[in-house]
Structure 1
Amino acid sequence: MKKRVLIVDDNSTNLYMLETLLKGHGIEVTSAENGKDALDKARLNPPDL
């Protein structure tokens, strides 16, 4: 079972780099650029971390 991670950052470059790194290690990544978006996404698909 893949682990799910939610990352939140308002810098799109940081999001891209972290998403790429984590996906390369087989981790399912959901990203958000702000707190409201992060909470909405976490409610729909709760992350492991």
Structure 2
Amino acid sequence: MEIVHKQKETNAQGRERQSAEFELKLANIRGAQVHTAEQIVIQGLRAKGL
């Protein structure tokens, strides 16, 4: 019975870890999108000679 309980805890921890990793990936993607948007704006300003 104790082994089953420990397995459930491990599964829950695994889901938490996967969720945290997923959030981190989303944050990285968002950061990259913001960076790309900034580059586009900068290039646009340079093209206008500002």
TM bin, normalised by shorter chain, reads 0.3 to 0.5
Q: TM (normalized to structure 1)?
A: 0.34
Q: Which has the higher contact order (CA 8 A, sep 6+)?
A: 1
TM-score, normalisation: structure 2:
0.33
Q: Greater Rg, structure 1 or structure 2?
A: 2
Higher helix share: 2
Structure with a larger share of its residues in strand: 1
